[in-house]
Amino acid sequence: MALRKVETEIEIKAPAEKFYNIFKRQAHHVPNISSGSIQGVQVHEGDWETHGSIKSWNYSVGDEVGVFKEKVEYNDEKKSITLNGLEGDVFQYYKSFKPVYQFTQKDEGNIANLSIEYEKLTEDVAAPDKYVGLMVNIVKDLDAHFIKA
């Protein structure tokens, strides 16, 4: 199977830096802010802030609940967070799974680019659109929280 990518872009109201910082420094707050999508996050190796740390996320998307264990990469210049999938429920369907959040500050409005690079285990597996939807829901919840605060 070939490496593929699914992506979307949404406008955000809050500054791009706030999104980047919560993922980089305070990911443990995400379950409190987006409890409908994320029920918990734990550090397995490293800490909340260090490039290369390993975390597990407990999520729900539709009726499905699952766990996703990842090794994080931060890019301060691009304000991007890459979650390199290590294990979890998505690996029933995908050989590789790498969600990427990138936040861009623009004069005419801020943008969140959300993507997943993936490789299917078999050709009949669907693209991970529902997981991009999960990422969108998390970002929308965070945006509403930042604007309200």
Structure tokens at 8: 């979307």
Mean of pLDDT over the chain: 96
pTM: 0.96
Q: How far is residue 102's CA from residue 98's CA, in Å, rounded to a whole number?
A: 13
Given its phi and psi angles, is residue 46 left (phi above 0), alpha (psi -120 to 50 degrees) or beta?
left
**Residue 96 reports pLDDT greater than 90:** yes
pLDDT number for residue 107:
82
**Residue 1 reports pLDDT greater than 80:** no
Classify domain 4-148 at the CATH topology level.
Alpha-D-Glucose-1,6-Bisphosphate; Chain A, domain 4 (3.30.530)
